[in-house]
Structure 1
Amino acid sequence: MKRWLGKAETTLGNHSDRLNAINIFPVADGDTGTNLYLTVRAAARALNHPVGPGGSGQHDVGAVLATAGQAAMEQARGNSGTLFSVFLCAAAEPLAGQTRLSSALLAAALNRAQIRAWSALSEPVPGTMLSVMEAAARAVAGVDAEQDGDDSNHALALALDAAVGAAVEAVIRTEDQLEALHAAHVVDAGGVGMLLILDCLRSAVLGEELQSELLDGLHGYDVQDPHIHADLPDDDGVEVMCTISLSPLEAATLRQRLDEMGDSVIMSQVGGSAGAEGKYRWRVHVHVPAAEPAVALIGSLGEPSDISVSQLALPRDPELGSLDVPAHGGADAVVADSDVREPSGHER
């Protein structure tokens, strides 16, 4: 699992520019590759330290992924990064206490993960990385059913092959599932990112090389292509993200109010247990016309932390970074868009 996330960090770093180039849904802000890379990097680097008290969780697959997922959720960037964080946290749950992966466990993990990712969005849309997650999960479930409980490494290899194969087909279908992608003649950037992550999982578990040919022929992904999103109209508004502790009722209220105020609303629990006051920690993501009303709404229900506000309009000026917003309850604005480094250390 550590090898998977480390490999995914490097791979997304290498592919982030091409993912950014075809990022036009839900908004043409050209940052899906960067957001996925930074989120996966947070997950991978969380595993540089012992997992659990005294390293007790080092050999627990679920504990390792839960630690990585928690770190990813806390530092998630954008729609794609937030959805991957949800995916990772949910995948960890069926793997708790397990010391190795099997076809049946992989099926359970991917199914839990794709369901949780779909449910995190107020208005989930097919033709995105959600569809790729679902296709991979269904393919693995099919293989596992055919293997009739076989927990061998051979059965796991078949399941991983099926997951990646189904993900490729799902990515190709995204072009015709979303009007914006069809008009631009490109596949979904988040879907390609999820495909790369799944191929990294296959590579890490089986000890094989990444399958570079998976990307051959994906519309818009040729290196020679220009940044397609740059020719599209600018998207007004901002992306607001934060972490906050809320009761279930407060969380439902916030989701409803954010749905009325903006779109691309994603809310997911950070960790599974409630605090002393019966409140759960939530990661919140929304696109709104202006930051101040959304930040004020969030602040009226609790004390948010790690507030990040980024402009959706293009072209972005990397010198501007994130917008300054009023802090509520001691919250602080974080994350400048210019603070992006590839695994090699070269600044992007």
Structure 2
Amino acid sequence: MSHKLDADAVRAWCALALDALGRAREEIDAINVYPVADGDTGTNLYLTVESAARAVDDVFHGHATTEPASPPAFPDTVRAMAHGALIGARGNSGTILAQLLRGMAEVLTGDAGTSPRTDDAERLRRALRRAVESAYEGVARPVEGTVLTVAAAAADGAAHAPGDGAAVARAAYDAARTALAATPGQLEVLGRAGVVDAGGLGLVEVLGALTRALAGETTGQPAQGDAVAETSATRAWRTESCSADLGDGAEPSYEVIYLLEADDAAVARLRTRLDALGESLVVVGGDGLWNVHVHVDDAGAAVEAGVEAGRPYRIRITHFGAAQEERTRTRERAQRAVVAVVPGEGLAGLCAEAGATVVATRPGQQPAGEELVEAIRRAHAREVVLLPNDAELRQTAAAAAEQARTEGVRVALIPTRSAVQGIAALAVHEPGRRFDEDVVAMTAAAGATRYAELAVAERQSWTMAGVCQAGDVLGLIDGDVAVIGAELAATAETVLDRMLAAGGEMVTLVLGADVPDAVADRLERHVRGGHLAVDTVVYRGGQQSAPLLIGVE
């Protein structure tokens, strides 16, 4: 039975697409030869859709906690999907997929002038057409035989398809499959390797998931009946590996990706500059937030161009030679490594100097499970200690650890709930002792560290310490609001006194991005004045999530 194109269908689509890409990820990685044969297209598409799915789930969870509980509106769900894909987009194909979803969202939400009375079939036809237009606008030098060609074919297939929304989605999927099969004849590098375009195959999986969602499927189980099913033709597109001679070695050395806050005029200038610097340029987004992707020889110049255009962040630079070498040759694993999730650049540098593999986060953007798995792989060790440093990351980290174990890595998850607990654990890490002993020592150090953070209330609300107003400074001890104050340093002093009342030998202060050193100086004097036997150490964390983190050991 066909399902209406509503918020539930969008959520089902994201879940089904994530499941499909999860199963196809390794196979898509294996056939990735264009624009660079670095074997990561399937992983990048998975991470992009995972971010979209998480954003949609957040909308549903937010509405479930309201009084009275209510389902989210369809436009809100679609916008969340598109925004989540944009901020989580990875790689060339992931960035293009994010723009395809953004283009669809413009129509499905009515932002592109679509009447709310337009039926699902017509909305989907227009959405797929706008998606293709948006994607071609975002790619500096479009190449046929790629995901763009597959997307255009899907829109053409849907354009005149009769029936309801499910029938239109099926027509788009069938046309995309046909176009995908033709890509080896359109792009020489694909023909030489004997594979179809990896990004195009990923898009086929996503369109298949849409077809299944509108057919009423809500789980990631293999499709049944009229829903999309795996066929021998589908399997024929895929290969276990690709060892052909695929190029002359003249490709750029680096892939640079970052999110950018900038206006349209600045982005137009940025496109021109980056197009001259490199190739495979994709700039997608709008309304002040953009995802920038480019392949260049001078990674610093690409980042500098972003700084001149606006505010770049979540910058990722990958050296293709290193990535290819990592994937194609076997090297001796280190015996043990630590993977730590941290909220600021300063802490990231501190943990990296201590030998940890770091996953840096931004406010409101937790790392995805696959990102943690990738960090464990990047650590390249037989034994890994994982420090999530956030109570809300516990389940995600546990799932990542379990996935890594299936790949032969011995992983111990220490349930650190704050960066200061992670710092304490890392301080006693000894790679030379037995794994179990090291894990016990690190766990004990983290458990012996009480943690607190100072935050600013965004609105009036009830707390464990009473009613707070917007702008009040909140002192949270071990996760609960214990102090409400008007000024950061004074509130922090109260928090420190309460924590040290139970004893302590060491205070750790981690300053946020905009906190002056004078605050740390005042708090150090306060500790010395009232707690003579307690030492204080200060780190410039640079985190934006909380002005101040405090640890007491």
- TM bin, normalised by shorter chain, reads 0.7 to 0.9
Indicate the residue corresponding to 1:134 in structure 2.
152
CA spacing shift, 1:110–1:53, aligned 2, 3 Å: same
Which string of whole-angstrom CA distances, capped at 9 and with x for unpartnered residues, describes residues 206-233 of structure 1? 03513111753534x14xx324479766
Which string of whole-angstrom CA distances, capped at 9 and with x for unpartnered residues, describes residues 264-312 of structure 1? 1111224x3xxxxxxx222111110131121122212322111111122
Counterpart selection for 1:249 from 261, 265, 280: 265
Q: Which amino acid is the alignment partner of residue 135 of structure 1?
A: A
Q: Which amino acid is the alignment partner of residue 87 of structure 2?
A: E
- Structure 1 spans left out of the alignment, 5+ residues: 148-153, 273-279, 322-326
Say what the alpha-carbon RMSD is for the aligned residues. Answer: 3.1
Alpha carbons 1:261, 1:288 under 8 Å: kept: yes
Indicate the residue corresponding to 1:92 in structure 2.
105
- Structure 2 spans left out of the alignment, 5+ residues: 1-9, 111-115, 218-222, 328-332, 340-344, 346-358, 362-370, 378-395, 408-553
Which structure has the greater CA radius of gyration?
A: 2
Alpha carbons 1:61, 1:92 under 8 Å: kept: no
Shift of 1:183: 1.1
The aligned runs of 1:81-230 (5 Å cut-off) are: 81-96=94-109, 102-143=120-161, 147=162, 154-207=163-216, 209=223, 210-213=228-231, 215-216=233-234, 218-219=236-237, 221-222=238-239, 225-228=240-243
The aligned length equals 319
Match of 1:38, SS state, is helix
Match of 1:338, SS state, is helix
Larger relative contact order (CA 8 Å, sep ≥ 6): 1
CA spacing shift, 1:316–1:160, aligned 2, 3 Å: same
Q: Would you say 1:304 and 2:309 are equivalent positions? A: no
Shift of 1:174: 0.6
Counterpart selection for 2:47 from 38, 46, 59: 38
Q: Which amino acid is the alignment partner of residue 240 of structure 1?
A: V
Q: Which amino acid is the alignment partner of residue 260 of structure 1?
A: A
Shift of 1:53: 7.9
The aligned runs of 1:243-322 (5 Å cut-off) are: 243-270=259-286, 272=287, 280-313=288-321, 314-317=323-326
CA distance in 2, matches of 1:46, 1:104: 26
CA spacing shift, 1:204–1:336, aligned 2, 3 Å: closer
Alpha carbons 1:21, 1:30 under 8 Å: kept: yes
Counterpart selection for 2:73 from 34, 52, 60: 60
CA spacing shift, 1:312–1:193, aligned 2, 3 Å: same
Q: Which amino acid is the alignment partner of residue 298 of structure 1?
A: G
Match of 1:180, SS state, is helix
CA distance in 2, matches of 1:85, 1:38: 11
CA distance in 1, matches of 2:169, 2:120: 10
Q: Which amino acid is the alignment partner of residue 284 of structure 1?
A: V
Match of 2:145, SS state, is coil
TM-score normalised by structure 1 residue count: 0.82
Alpha carbons 1:168, 1:214 under 8 Å: kept: no
Alpha carbons 2:261, 2:289 under 8 Å: kept: yes
CA distance in 2, matches of 1:211, 1:337: 29
Alpha carbons 1:6, 1:44 under 8 Å: kept: yes
CA distance in 2, matches of 1:249, 1:161: 39
Alpha carbons 1:62, 1:94 under 8 Å: kept: no
Match of 1:112, SS state, is helix
CA distance in 2, matches of 1:107, 1:174: 23
CA spacing shift, 1:54–1:157, aligned 2, 3 Å: closer
CA distance in 1, matches of 2:100, 2:263: 22
The aligned runs of 1:229-240 (5 Å cut-off) are: 235-240=251-256
Stretch moving more, 302-311 or 167-176: 302-311
CA spacing shift, 1:288–1:207, aligned 2, 3 Å: same
User: Once the two structures are aligned, what percentage of the paired residues are identical?
Assistant: 32
CA spacing shift, 1:214–1:201, aligned 2, 3 Å: farther
Q: Which amino acid is the alignment partner of residue 151 of structure 2?
A: M
